[in-house]
Amino acid sequence: MAGGRGERFWPQSRLARPKHLLPIVGDRPMLTQTIERLGDLVPPENVFIITNVEQRDAVLECCPSVPPANVVAEPVGRDTAAAVGLAAVLVADKNAGAAFAMLPADHVIHDHAAFQRDLDAAFAAAEGSDALVTVGIQPTYPATGYGYIRRGEEADRAGEKPVYTVDAFKEKPDDATAREYVDAGGYYWNAGMFFWRVPVIADCFARFTPDLWKALQAVADGLREGEDLGPLLEKHYPSLEKISVDYAIMEKAEAVRVLESSFDWDDVGEWPAVARHNELDDEGNAVKGAAMVHKGSGNIVIGSGKRLLAVLGTEDLIVIETEDATLVCPKDKAQEIKALVKRVGEHPDWKRLV
């Protein structure tokens, strides 16, 4: 799933080249890293990328190993339920009984071997049952920015990994509730990684979102009759309900299972997270590009490379420079960048900068 806007990483992230198409962490676009992380587990010809029309060219550029026909552009955004349903249609067109995974395009995972082992186990759990399977992330602190999964009893095993029932999906909690979850144990962060067989997820769509599924079946019928995918999506996609797969399917399904991850994970949701994945100087500054900090600490400073970006005597600032925009923001205000981007987009002289 590679259609997000990544507004919290403005001014680097733009509609046509957002977070997942940038080297926010590492030296290659995050989507490229996501595909490389799969290794031999899923060959490139079996990878579909669901993006949007504004980003498709950039996706093709950074993912040369994926067949161009597998890079599918939504004509309008309809949230993750529509993307999952479209994925089910695309996979079924190749193999109606296949198991497939839905993976976000912009997460940071360093331990690729552990990631592949866990994905292999999740595929096995999905292929061996009629359940919807997810991988839960063991929380390392009481995060309020993630949804949570409360696990139940052990229901099965996938190799050496236990597979648990899911008792409940929990919305993003307040600080006190997040601390209760972490202290209680048995709660995972919901990373949005899902695994299922086509017939299983298709049955859920037919039961829980029949109107959405009926429209997507019209797309499937057209593909079987040899019609081109692009015009089919333009015809049927705008009518789809805009709803997340969590609300539409996961919270309603009877058989949901979770495996505990054994890999490191970070969704890198805003600029302060960059400091966790970059070498810091003696004063705790994360500095990239043609940039420097003098007599300052705890700053994130990223230059465009076109000129020197110098920061003097500041603490805990985010300073990001691009060719046409510069952001200066206290780290504790990073959540408000999205609102700032909205204002930029409403300004007649600056809307081109989003």
Residue-level length of the chain? 354
Distances (CA, A) of 21 to 51, 81, 160, 217, 273: 11, 22, 35, 31, 17
Give pLDDT, residue 208.
98
Does 302 share its domain with 323?
A: yes
Q: Say if residue 240 is in the same domain as residue 106.
A: yes
| Pairing of the two strands 300-302 and 286-288 | parallel
* Domain termination residue (choose one: 206, 228, 260): 260
The predicted model scores a pTM of 0.93
Does 162 map to a domain? yes
The pLDDT of residue 46 is 97
In a domain, 266, yes or no: no
Dump pLDDT digits (tens) for 205-256.
999 999 999 999 999 999 999 999 999 999 999 999 999 999 999 999 999 9
Give the pLDDT of residue 173.
Answer: 97
Whether 232 is covered by a domain: the verdict is yes
Of the candidates 133, 100, 119, 108, the residue with the CA atom closest to the CA atom of residue 261 = 119
32 and 172 in a single domain? The answer is: yes
Q: Are residues 245 and 277 in the same domain?
A: no
Q: pLDDT tens for residues 119-176?
A: 999 999 999 999 999 999 999 999 999 999 999 999 999 999 999 999 999 999 999 9
My answer on whether 214 and 186 are in the same domain is yes
Q: State how many domains the chain has.
A: 2
Mean pLDDT for 21-46 is 95
Query: Based on the domain organization, do 313 and 185 belong to the same domain?
Result: no
Can you give the pLDDT at residue 341? Answer: 97
Going across the sheet that includes 317-321, the strands are 286-288, 300-302, 317-321, 326-330
- Output DSSP code: residue 96: T
For residues 235 and 111, membership in a common domain is answered with: yes
Which of these three, 202, 228, 260, is where a domain ends?
Answer: 260
pLDDT of amino acid 112: 97
Q: Which residues of 168-197 are buried (b: 16+ CB within 10 A; e: fewer)?
A: ebbeebeeeebeebbeeeebbbbbbbbbbb
Domain at 135, CATH number? 3.90.550.10
**For 239, what's the count of Cα atoms within 13 Å in the CB-facing half-sphere?**
16
Instruction: Please state, in angstroms and rounded to a whole number, the distance separating the CA atoms of residues 154 and 86.
Output: 31
What residues make up the domain containing 329? 271-353
- Based on the fold, state whether residues 292 and 223 are members of the same structural domain: no
Q: What is the mean pLDDT of the chain?
A: 96
Helix, strand and coil content of the chain, in percent to the nearest 5, comes to 40, 25, 35
- Same domain flag for 112 and 207: yes
Q: What count of other Cβ atoms lies within 10 Å of the Cβ of residue 292?
A: 15
Per-residue pLDDT tens for 273-296?
A: 999 999 999 999 999 999 999 999
Q: What is the DSSP string of 110-179?
A: --HHHHHHHHHHHHHHHHTSSSEEEEEEPPSS--SSS-EEEEEEEEEEETTEEEEEEEEEEPPP-HHHHH
CA distances from 253 to 152, 164, 201, 208, 247 (A): 15, 15, 10, 8, 10
How far apart, in Å, are the Cα atoms of 254 and each of 85, 133, 220, 222? 18, 12, 26, 31
How far is 75 from 231, CA to CA, in rounded Å?
9
Tokens of 215: 């429209």
Residues 86, 168 share a domain: yes
Give yes or no: residues 308 and 256 share one domain: no
Does residue 198 share a domain with residue 147?
Answer: yes
